[in-house]
Each structure stands twice: as structure tokens, then as C-alpha cells.
Amino acid sequence: MKNIRVLFIALLLPAFIMAQSVSPEVVSSAGDYFEGTNASLSWTLGEIATETYSNGTNILTQGFQQPITVTLAGIDLDVLVYLEGPYSGTEMGTNLNTTGEIPLAQPYNTSPWNYTGTESVGAIPNADVVDWIIVELRDAVDAASATGATKIAEQAAFLLRDGSVVDLDGSSTLQFTSSVSNNLFVAVWHRNHLGVLSASPVTGTGGMYSYDFSTGLSQAHGGGLGYKLIATSVYGMPGGDYDGDGDVDDTDKAAWTTNAGSMGYQSSDFTLDNQVDNQDKNDVWVENTGLESQVPE
């Protein structure tokens, strides 16, 4: 009779096991897992503490063996920068926006930027948008060594009239899933203004990094060689670089001459007012001839 009972239990055991839904959760203080060709073994020891702690970046679990989704530590970037061309004393103009000239997809997929990002929007998200820019992160010991080879991330973004750089929703700060080994430097590019690199490492707290390019020449690497005062106590990126090669020179003037009198989203429209006219040449190109971007190549 005993043998019959054992046999009966043995027959029921596989069905019982197959009917159970086992959660990947167990109270444990120790354990291990081994796997062979045809079988695997997982073992645990009991645990009386079962709390889970998190500081927003790291997670410590006690007792429970459980699936956890880990978000990589990233960088939230808050940057303020001005373009000389559209700046009008207190803020930048938004003529290209109000006239519907700003493209819905990032415009930097051509030479010399050759940026392959696919940023686009269904509509320009904010009436305060001035234009598209590119924001680039570089990881280097100092600004002088922050060459293109140190680039760790880049995004196309929107520049608002008050100098804020925002994501595609028109209001959020930029987010990067990047980590920094040395120091973080930020480069900003615009299609007809000289690019600029932060002179000092960008510092942050709790993943939020901030940098204000507008407060002095010393905020830009290379200072006045590629950066300038654009209003009382306000500094910005010099305009006039039609071809984006990092120099304001006769080539840029020749392009202006060719396009003079035209309207639209033109690189020779240095003031970004939807017109290629004498103001672009006399107030921007003439004033900046000879300036060069100081962003290390």
C-alpha cells in the first residue's frame, strides 16, 4: 500500500509543478545559480530584512531576488547662449518663426556639420523659437584639448529668444544618456554664426548641468578671438559665417552678394529676419570679418 501511495504522489508531482506560476521573487540572504546543458539549479538562503533603498541613481535591495529596471545615469543640460544677428538689445528676434520659415527637421545634415540626427517636429512648438542649433558634449581634461575626437554626444535643439536651449517640445532642458570621465565641455553650433565652446568645465548637481555663455568673453574658449560683446554686458556668438567653416571672410560676403534681395531661410540672412539685405552685410559681416571660431578641431 505504501508503494502505491508513493507512486500516486510521484505521478501527481509533475502536474502540480507544471500548474504553478513561479514569481522571480524570493526572500534570501545568499544564493547562486548554475546552469548545465540540460538543467539549471538556483539556491537561496532565508533573509529577514526585505527593504529596498534608492537615492535616485543607485538601488540597494535586501532579501528579494527581483527583476529591476536600471536607468543609466545621464546629463540634464541647461545652457544659455545668444546669437548676435537676431539680438535686439534685450532678446533675440523670432522673425523666421513668425513667417513660417524654420524647417520642421533639423537642417544640419549637410556639410560642414554632416549631422545624422533625425530630430524633427510636426510644428514649431513654441512662438519663442529663434532657430535650430546643435549642442555637443565633449569629455576632456581642459578646453584646449576638447577636440572633435572627445565628442561623446550631440543633439539638434531649439534656441529660444531669451537664450534658453530647449528640447523638441519647446520647453524641456536637453537630456543626454552619457557619462563623463574627465571634464564636461559644451560646444554650440549655428548655421551662420561662429561656434563656441565653454571655456570652463560645465558643473552640475544631481545630474543637472548648467552653463551661461552670455556673461563675459571669459565664458568662451578663446575669448574675443571668436566671441564678442553684443549689447551692454551681454556676450554672444558672432554672425556672418555663411558657409559654417569657422571663419568670417570674403567667401561669406560673396555668398551674401549672390543672395542679396532674397527672402526665406537663407544662410546669408545673418540677422535671421527673413531678408538678405544690407543690414546683414554692414551690421554683421563687416563687423566680424577676421573672427574665427575657437572650438578646437
pLDDT at position 74, please? 83
Q: How far apart are the first and last CA of the chain?
A: 88
Neighbours of 67 (CB within 10 A): 7
Distance between CA atoms of residues 90 and 280, nearest Å? 19
CA proximity to 274, closest of 100, 82, 81, 91: 100
Q: Flag residues of the chain having pLDDT under 70.
A: 1-73
Helix-then-strand count for the chain, H and E = 5, 15
Q: Which amino acid is at 251?
A: T
pLDDT tens by residue, 166-218: 999 999 999 999 889 999 999 999 999 999 999 999 998 888 999 999 999 99
pLDDT of residue 29: 56
Per-residue confidence (pLDDT) for residue 9, from 0 to 100: 40
User: Which residue ranges make up each domain of the chain?
Assistant: 22-63, 75-288
DSSP 219-250: GBTTGGGS-EEEETTEEEB-B--TT-SSB-SH
Spell out the residues 6+ positions from residue 204 whose beta carbon is closer than 8 angstroms to its own.
75, 76, 184, 210
At 161 the pLDDT is: 98
pLDDT digits (tens, 9 = 90+) for 213-250: 999 999 999 999 999 999 999 999 999 999 999 999 99
What is the spatial distance between Cα 183 and Cα 75, in angstroms, rounded to a whole number?
13
Q: Is 48 exposed, middle or buried (0-12, 13-18, 19+ CB in 10 A)?
A: exposed
69-99 burial code (b ≥16 CB/10 A, e <16): eeeeeebebbbbbbbbbbbeeebbbbbbbee
Position 41 scores a pLDDT of 61
**3 state SS of 208:** strand
Give the pLDDT confidence score for residue 31 in this predicted structure.
67
